[in-house]
């Protein structure tokens, strides 16, 4: 009776586990690798499916064979066990079949890895991404004013249907660049530049990425977005970042925020076309059009921007002092600026948008 109850519980656990696995498999997630949106992730997805199918067939065959053997050679009264000392046919089969399985998986994998090393086309969009503790600096060589580089942070804009070539470096420790729906993971190593596999996005949308290599206390909060958009919208975004913002009307709330920003933030942050030319922290040009702040961890709202300026350490575990790159960490302004001044700074930087 006790054995029967244990078997019953085992059946229930098995059924519940299978149902849970099916439900989990049906869940959607912004960083799933099973919803490819570029030619590169199409290849990765194909390899996934191949490995799953081959592994599933092998697992099924093994379980069926095991069930047969357990039943066929089970202990029975009056049936003595038969001693078997070898079977050449079986040994040949279970040597050849694993070799065939490895070839089926290995050959496409080798071709995929070799294809990942191809050079970008002449029309490819080249982007440099630099990892910092704990944010991503983004540079578009040649797309800035007068042929200089266009700089932004934590959001990468790319046009749909155009090949993208991203060059990776790190300014301090090892980071890792990963956008599961667009491209595989590649490390960002100090003094050792890496190139992502070139890829062509095939779907318009916002794709989530993040650092995938532990890089310090705020590693889990080092995120970014890739915005794939129509070519015309991408070109409009580039043009906006090449254009100096309109001066704020004197005496306005935004103008007072600009004055406070220039007096407290311009030595670390840059806003193109203004006196703010700092390169220590993220470039804030057209910050108001960004979807997030704090390296992708917060929506870009007035409340979040004010909270970030007031005390960044309430939102992200950034240590005081000097970071691994030798750069100073962002200070807190709750004891330097009044609430009204903080609100004015937030209003100023968020007023700089892409029309």
Residue-level pLDDT at 84: 75
| Mean pLDDT in residue range 42-55 | 91
Q: Looking at the predicted structure, is the pLDDT value of residue 265 above 70? A: yes
Are 349 and 281 in contact, with CB atoms under 8 Å apart?
no
- Please state which of the ranges 14-23, 82-91, 172-181, 289-298 shows the lowest mean pLDDT: 14-23
Task: List, in order of start, the domains of the chain with CATH numbers.
Answer: 31-68+91-242 (2.60.40.420), 253-351 (2.60.40.420)
Averaged pLDDT score across all residues of the chain: 89
How would residue 70 be classed by pLDDT, with cut points 50, 70 and 90? confident
Sign of the torsion angle spanned by Cα atoms 9, 10, 15, 18? positive
Calculate what percentage of the chain has a pLDDT beyond 70. Answer: 93
Overall pTM surpassing 0.85 (yes/no): no
- Residue 157 to residue 155: CA distance in whole angstroms: 6
The number of C-alpha atoms within 13 Å of 37 and in the hemisphere containing its C-beta is: 21
| Helix, coil or strand: residue 238 | helix
pLDDT tens for 35-44 read: 899 999 999 9
Calculate what percentage of the chain has a pLDDT beyond 90. Answer: 62
How would residue 7 be classed by pLDDT, with cut points 50, 70 and 90? low
What is the spatial order of strands in the sheet that 164-170 belongs to? 150-153, 135-140, 125-132, 164-170, 194-195
Are 144 and 150 in contact, with CB atoms under 8 Å apart?
yes
pLDDT tens for 238-251 read: 999 998 888 777 77
Q: Strands (DSSP E) along the chain, which ranges?
A: 125-132, 135-140, 150-153, 155-159, 164-170, 175-179, 183-188, 194-195, 205-211, 223-229, 292-293, 298-299
How would residue 25 be classed by pLDDT, with cut points 50, 70 and 90? low
Residue-level pLDDT at 136: 96
pLDDT tens for 180-223 read: 999 999 999 999 999 999 999 999 999 999 999 999 999 999 99
- Please state which of the ranges 25-34, 79-88, 177-186 shows the lowest mean pLDDT: 25-34
């Amino acid at each position: 009776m006790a054995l029967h109850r244990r078997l019953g519980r085992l059946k229930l656990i098995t059924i519940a586990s299978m149902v849970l696995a099916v439900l989990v498999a049906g869940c959607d997630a912004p960083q799933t690798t099973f919803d490819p949106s570029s030619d590169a992730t199409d290849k990765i997805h194909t390899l996934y499916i191949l490995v799953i199918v081959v592994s599933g067939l092998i697992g099924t065959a093994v379980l069926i064979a095991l069930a047969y053997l357990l039943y066929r050679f089970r202990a029975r009264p009056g049936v003595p066990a038969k001693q078997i000392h070898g079977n050449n046919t079986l040994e040949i089969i279970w040597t050849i079949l694993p070799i065939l399985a490895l070839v089926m998986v290995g050959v496409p994998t080798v071709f995929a890895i070799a294809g990942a090393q191809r050079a970008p086309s002449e029309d490819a969009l080249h982007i440099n991404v630099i990892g910092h503790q704990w944010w991503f600096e983004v540079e578009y060589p040649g797309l800035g004013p007068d042929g200089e580089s266009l700089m932004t942070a934590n959001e990468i804009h790319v046009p749909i249907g155009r090949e993208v070539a991203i060059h990776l470096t790190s300014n301090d420790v090892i980071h890792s660049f990963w956008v599961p729906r667009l491209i595989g993971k590649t490390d960002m190593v100090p003094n050792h530049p890496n190139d992502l596999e070139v890829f062509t996005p095939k779907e318009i949308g916002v794709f989530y990425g993040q650092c995938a290599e532990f890089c310090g206390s705020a590693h889990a909060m080092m995120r970014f977005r890739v915005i794939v958009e129509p070519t015309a919208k991408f070109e409009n975004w580039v043009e906006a970042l090449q254009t100096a913002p309109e001066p704020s009307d004197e005496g306005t709330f935004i103008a007072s925020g600009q004055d406070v920003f220039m007096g407290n933030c311009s030595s670390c942050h840059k806003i193109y076309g203004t006196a703010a030319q700092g390169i220590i922290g993220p470039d804030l040009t057209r910050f108001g059009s960004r979807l997030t702040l704090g390296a992708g961890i917060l929506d870009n709202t007035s409340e979040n921007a004010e909270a970030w300026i007031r005390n960044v350490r309430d939102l992200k575990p950034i240590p005081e002092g000097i970071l691994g790159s030798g750069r100073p960490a962002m200070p807190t302004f709750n004891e330097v600026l009044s609430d009204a001044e903080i609100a004015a700074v937030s209003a100023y930087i968020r007023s700089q948008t892409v029309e």
